[in-house]
Structure 1
Amino acid sequence: MRMVTRPSSSPPCRCDGARAMTVEIGLNAAIVSVAERSPRILVATGEDLRDALPFGPFDTARHRTFETSLRAHVEDQTALDLGYIEQLYTFGDRGRHGPETQADRHIVSVGYLALTRADPDAALRLSGAGVLWRDWYVYLPWEDWRAGRPSLIDRVILPALMRWASTGGAPITAQRRSRLRLAFGTDDFPWDEERVLERYELLYEAGLVAEAMIDRGSADASAAGEGPLQTGSGRAMQHDHRRIVATAIARLRGKIKYRPVIFELMPPEFTLTDLQATVEAISGRHLHKQNFRRLVEGAELVEPTGMSTAATGGRPAALFRFRRQILDERPAPGLKV
């Protein structure tokens, strides 16, 4: 979903002290849904086979706020009804859309996290718009711990990062190894599922993902689908969109612990098994079934509907719904998994 960018009203600026450059404000959306226990991001595939997040210009003539502009762009292109939306970060590094020497304009993107419920009919509408859903672990495979610690971390990623950490002098090596401990949980440090962005930025800084190679002019964009770590690097994205995805995942993983945003991804009625699978998909962690149920019941986040479903194929499972009264009863009603 690539929208035509209108010239910004911002005046040209001299970003390098010698050449004027037009600055434009764009809006990028990391739109998340969960289907078949898979956490998915809405993307469009470019001519170079690298995926891109939905993007559109901020049109001051039509919209008063960034959020209303973003909602309008997405709904016009996909007919998706977005639920929860929050601003992530402003991505404005020079050169983020290509080599600085070739750029005559600079796009500053305001990144957003948006949530929507899975809708089978929406897939048909999206296919006509040239966009599709992809599992977000395709881009960041080292983040999926639902089946245990991914083997590629110890087999591929950490050896490559340790070699990179040792290439500088003593102070640089010590600093890099400290960052490695915090990001990847080495030397008996625990794995923190919220440090998604730190892990990606380490890999980028070390030149171990395709985007880093492309930005440094040492790789052909058309051949960068898997990157220098091969299967360990994940699928490449255009520009800095994988960094935006990492930021969105980190924000959502933290958010579900103190706000009930997980229910923005659930149907109105659901089983506790479905709720657990959705939380596991987002957090990238396997959760103990009985402990999870005690957590949900103790937090009083759901209430029974009095109905059940046999769709699971086994014994009928009770259906629940989000108990909205919790929003008035508690300041931080989340799932502290």
Structure 2
Amino acid sequence: MVVGSTAVEIGLNAAIVTVEGSHPQILVVSSDATDAALPDGLPLGSFDPLLHRTFETGLRASVEAQTALHLGYVEQLYTFGDRGRHKQPDDIGPHFVSVGYLALTRNDGEQTGTLERSGAHWSDWYGYLPWEDWRAGRPEMLDTTIVPALKKWAKQPHADEIGRLPNRHSRLRLAFGDVDFPWDEERVLERYELLYEAGLVEEAVSDGRVAKTGFSSPLGRPMRLDHRRILATAMARLRGKLKYRPVIFELMPPEFTLTALQSTVEAISGRHLHKQNFRRLVEGAELVETTGATSTATGGRPAALYRFRRKILDERPAPGIKVGGR
């Protein structure tokens, strides 16, 4: 495609999520044939209008061809097309625009060999955004490293930001919370973008925004180009979505225990949930039904097995798991 005098190529980026045990996983490609030192990236395919009627069919075909993964739920996130996102000398060459997608799949382990041959593998998504995992309480790095650095940055507004609403201080409070603003697990993208803008993540260095972050070790594992921004967008979307759509069941096997369901919800939301409250919430919302069978997989007392009650889709317009904020 040519826009004006500039060639534009359309790519399809996939933030493919699964949960293994209590670990939320994102599919990443660690390197390519031209530069083994590249940081992790999300799978990327090209859109060919001669082969694919829609972007989604192109995405599914590309992922299945590369990894043999059969995607379940797929949702378009955003179009990522900022100038310079695919860095070129003097910003020449085709401008690459990526249509980002959130995709969910169950990890049954059968595709491990195919994934390894394709150069892709599953990686814990909190390795890239570690400040988002509150399951064991507020991450220490927020108070020792991140918030102090952001407060220092907020005191030095740039001339271009004079009069901007909200200002740096307000954005910091909204994104990271304080006494008046509790932590909102859905503000993943705002938090990452503040860290990038403040020059505190490695992508700001590779993009030439700052010479160095000033930290002895990176804040989470960096990703190539703007892929960590795409991941943050996907995490925020999924966390919000599970509250009003039954998307969490796309990550569950056909039959599961309520403990396994709670562990999966906690993995995605990054929050610890009270066991009895969670069970009352799920059962009261009539999202699941018992199968009549039990599981002894944990080695303890037999646990009842449940399945997603699909009739709920005909009964209510927004059947999600409405976990509250902190």
Which TM-score band applies after superposition, normalised by the shorter structure? Answer: over 0.9
Q: Distance in 2 between matches of 1:257 and 1:232?
A: 32
1:29 corresponding residue in structure 2: 14
Q: Distance in 1 between matches of 2:173 and 2:203?
A: 24
Cα offsets for 1:161-210 (capped at 9, x unmatched): 01111112775697101000100002331000000000000000000000
Q: How does 1:82-93 map to 2 (within 5 A)?
A: 82-93=71-82
Q: How does 1:319-334 map to 2 (within 5 A)?
A: 319-334=305-320
Q: Distance in 2 between matches of 1:305 and 1:270?
A: 9
Q: Could you tell me which amino acid in structure 2 is paired with residue 25 of structure 1?
A: I
How many pairs are equivalent? Answer: 316
2:270 corresponding residue in structure 1: 284
Q: How does 1:1-337 map to 2 (within 5 A)?
A: 10-13=1-4, 20-46=5-31, 47-99=36-88, 101-168=90-157, 175-216=167-208, 228-231=214-217, 233-337=219-323
Q: Could you tell me which amino acid in structure 1 is paired with residue 56 of structure 2?
A: E
Q: Structure 1 residues 100 and 200 mapped into 2: Cα distance closer, same or farther (>3 Å)?
A: farther
CA-atom RMSD, angstroms? 1.7
Runs of 4+ in 1 over 6 A off after TM superposition: none
Maintained 8 Å contact 1:167/1:173: no
Question: Structure 1 residue 293: deviation in Å?
Answer: 0.1
Higher mean alpha-carbon deviation, 127-136 vs 162-171, is at 162-171
Q: Structure 1 residues 217 and 334 mapped into 2: Cα distance closer, same or farther (>3 Å)?
A: closer
Question: Structure 1 residue 48: deviation in Å?
Answer: 2.0
Cα offsets for 1:82-128 (capped at 9, x unmatched): 00000000001000011561431110100000000011112222112
Q: Could you tell me which amino acid in structure 2 is paired with residue 136 of structure 1?
A: W
Q: Distance in 2 between matches of 1:105 and 1:333?
A: 44
Q: Distance in 2 between matches of 1:283 and 1:261?
A: 13
Question: Structure 1 residue 22: deviation in Å?
Answer: 1.4
- Structure 2 unmatched runs, 5+: none
Cα offsets for 1:220-255 (capped at 9, x unmatched): xxxx9xx65444611010100000000000000000
Q: Structure 1 residues 126 and 23 mapped into 2: Cα distance closer, same or farther (>3 Å)?
A: same
Q: Distance in 1 between matches of 2:157 and 2:42?
A: 35
1:3 corresponding residue in structure 2: none
Q: Could you tell me which amino acid in structure 2 is paired with residue 72 of structure 1?
A: A
Q: Distance in 2 between matches of 1:165 and 1:40?
A: 33
Maintained 8 Å contact 1:156/1:232: no
- Structure 1 unmatched runs, 5+: 1-9, 14-19
Q: Distance in 2 between matches of 1:135 and 1:44?
A: 13
Q: Distance in 2 between matches of 1:208 and 1:218?
A: 9
